[in-house]
Structures are given as C-alpha cells and as structure tokens.
Amino acid sequence: MLIYVLACSAVLQLTAAVMAFRLIRLTGRRTAWSLIAVALVLMSIRRIIPLYRLLSGDMAFAPDLLNELIGLALSALMVLGVAGITPLFSAIKRSQMALRESEERYRATMMSVGDGVITTDTEGRVELLNPIAEALTGWQQEQARGKPLEQVFRIINEDTRQAAENPARQVMRDGCVVGLANHTVLVASDGTERLIADSGAPIRDDSGVVTGVVLVFRDQTQERAAQRELRESEIFLKSIFEQSPHAMWVSDSQGTLIRLNQACRDLLRVTDDDVIGKYNVLRDTIVEEQGYMPLVKRVFENGEATRFILVYDSKQLKTLDLKEFAFLILDVTISPVLDVFGRVHHAIIQHIDVTEHKRAEEALIASEIRYRRLFESAKDGILILDAETGMVLDVNPFLIEMLGYSHEQFLGKTVWELSFSRHRG
C-alpha cells in the first residue's frame, strides 16, 4: 500500500511539473512557472527515493503511510489545479493574440487609408498620426505624440481667419460624431494652408466609456477650387443665357421646358409659371400641324440639330393656360446637348423673330408682281438698262412688237446697237 501511494504521488507531481513547463509558453512568465515546475520535480524526487528503498527491501526509512496519503491527495489537487488553469491561460493567450492581430489590422488600416487620421486621448493629447496626417499637418508621429491637438491640428475659418473650435473637444463634450464647418483651413507646421473636410468620432471601450477621439480629414483644396471654377462657370453661362438678346429656352431630355431667358419671355409673352415644366415641344400642336414634328423628334432620338420656320400663334397651344398671346413667324433652331455617353441630356431652342422680315419679303414680292404686270401691259416701249454698262436687261412686249426684234435680240446690247430705222420707216 505504501509503495503504491508513493508511486502515485511521484507520478502526479511529475505530471504537474510537465504541465507547469507548458504554462511557461502559454503565459510567458518564465521565472514563476519555472520555479513551480522545479519545486514539483524536487517533490517527486522526495517520493522516488523512499520508494526505491522500499522496493530494495530497506524498511528502515519507511515513511508514515498517513502522511503519504495526505501527500498523494495534495499531489492530485496540484494536478487538477494546474490542469484547470491551463485552458484558462490558453484562452487568455488566444485572446491576447487576437487582440494583437486586431490592433495590427487597426493600425495597418489607419496607416494605409487615403485620408489623414489622428487619434487623441480623453485630454485631447495626440496619440497617433498616419502618414497622410503627417503630410498635411507637417508633424511627424514622434514629434506630435503627447502634444495638445490644437498645436498639431491647427484650424482656422477661411473667411474670418479666427481659430476654429477643436473638434476633439466637441466630440468629448457631445459624445457623438461631429463635422467641421465649411471653409475650414488647416495650417501646417510650415505655414502651408489647405482647405479640408473633417469629421471626429468618439473611441469607446467595451463598456461604452469614451477613451479618446479619432479625427479623419482630407485635403479639399483642389476639389474646392474645381467647385469654385464650376460655380463661376455656371454663373458666367447663366449670365450669357439670361442677357442674350436672342430668345432661348432649354428643355430636358424629354422635351419639357426647364429654363428660358428674358428675351424669350418678352418675345413669346409668357412667364416662368406659364411654361416651366408645362410646355413640351414634342407635344406642341403648332409644330405638329405645320409638319415639323419628325425633325424635332430626330433631335431627341438621334442627336441631330434642326432648323425650320414656324408660324407661331400661341392661341393654338391648348396645353397651356396663357394670359397673353403672341402671333409671330419664328426662325427656330433646336440643338441637342449630349452627355459623356453621347446621349441627349438637354436641348437648346433658339427663336429669331422674322415676322417683319417675312412681311417685307411678302411686300416686295407683291410689289414685284405689280411692277411686272404694269411693265408687261404698258402701251409705251420700256427698256431696262444696266446702270454701269448701259446694256439691255429687259424689254417689255410693246417695244418688242414695235421694233420687230425678239426678246433675246434685245438682251446684252446697248441702245446704240439697236436700229430704230424699221420703226421709223
């Protein structure tokens, strides 16, 4: 019985020693667990020596059985204890490794994003800058660590030139995500100024307590310059459009009027409320009745410009409730505006009032008809001569009959080349 107890105690203590050595690798606490493992080995040797003597037949140094039973129980408890904490330390080890991997991923992400990133503690002292933040602020990570955010991340209002409120202070105060106001300028350590867009968010631990602030910002200098140029270009083009003496209006891709200039309002006697969003050239009964609708459709379907003369009587527009009416003869030009894919995005329609010109043309035609009738029916001989060369350009029937020449014989001759003797005879 005593031999069995000693053997079991020695085996259990050696097992506990081996497990203690394994814990060195799991916990990284080499000194503490090494001492425990060595102590366990020595305790097992203390059992092995009497065991050897007993097996050799030497009973002089036989230990007390009760003490050894107590030692066996303690050895069993040691094994159970070490065995019990080994999974715990394994879990802790895995958790620590996962935490380090997470921190490394977080740091790698922070360092590789295309925006500037700064993190601070709860007192607003800088903890981390990524490379973009270093480039924009002019501060290196080691220089900036521990400094107040206001010193590293110095921002002012573009218009007033006054210092802007520290976004980290806002986040700590409000406990929520905040964004910078427009026209915020970041002043780098060398005095370089850059327009930026920025947001700040709280960093919270597992219990929800704010442990710091993360700022994310980017350089908007070029973007703002492009936006400013675009706005100026839009204002410039709108000014040209509005102040143009030519009546113009713009449609969307479906032919609906979305904008018109003052010249167009005056010419057609309409207001914005009368026509914007209400008039559609593809549903214009005047255009349809005068046979121009196929040309108009090709503008929107094929991107082809077109031009035609339209007799415009706004009383015939049944889809609009107009307060005033206009009767005009219009020279209409419709030009498509294409997007980057070659599709019709808008159309520009220009109207030129040719009413007086057409009336003058009609009056001239009527005058020419009257003149021709008088010229051909006159009972006196009439020649029309070129003012510079004196050659005959036309002759009336009475003179042809009177002189006996054909019409062709008169043309291209001077008066002195024609003989009037036949008439005189």
Identify whether residues 144 and 200 lie together within a single domain.
yes
In total, how many domains does the chain have?
4
HSE of 365, CA atoms in CB hemisphere, 13 A: 6
Nearest CA to 248 out of 231, 265, 273 is that of 265
Identify whether residues 137 and 206 lie together within a single domain.
yes
- How far apart are the C-alpha atoms of 37 and 31, rounded to whole Å? 10
In whole angstroms, what separates CA 403 from the centre of its chain? Answer: 87
- How far apart are the C-alpha atoms of 309 and 316, rounded to whole Å? 17
Enumerate residues 6+ apart whose C-beta is below 8 A from 391.
385, 411, 412, 413, 414
Residue 385 maps to a domain: yes
Nearest CA to 261 out of 279, 248, 251 is that of 248
- How far apart are the C-alpha atoms of 130 and 140, rounded to whole Å? 9
pLDDT tens readout for residues 222-239:
888 888 888 888 888 888
Q: Pick from 192, 225, 258: which residue ends a domain?
A: 225
Residue 369 maps to a domain: no
Identify whether residues 391 and 349 lie together within a single domain.
no
Identify whether residues 175 and 258 lie together within a single domain.
no
Residue 67, token pair as written in the block: 């003490």
Residue 49 maps to a domain: yes
Low-confidence ranges of the chain (pLDDT < 50): 2, 4, 33, 52-53, 61, 64-66, 69, 72, 421-425
Enumerate residues 6+ apart whose C-beta is below 8 A from 209.
none
Residue 188 maps to a domain: yes
Residue 230 maps to a domain: no
Go through 240-264 and write b for each residue having 16 or more CB atoms within 10 A of its CB, e for each that does not.
Answer: ebeeeeebbbbbbeebbbebbbebb
Identify whether residues 104 and 130 lie together within a single domain.
no
pLDDT at 41: 52
Identify whether residues 103 and 40 lie together within a single domain.
yes
- How far apart are the C-alpha atoms of 91 and 94, rounded to whole Å? 5
Residue 304 maps to a domain: yes
In whole angstroms, what separates CA 317 from the centre of its chain? Answer: 41
CATH number of the domain enclosing 334: 3.30.450.20
What is the residue range of 403's domain? 378-424
Residue 306 maps to a domain: yes
Q: Where are the beta strands (DSSP E) in 188-282?
A: 193-204, 210-219, 247-252, 257-260
Residue 362 maps to a domain: no
pLDDT at 328: 92
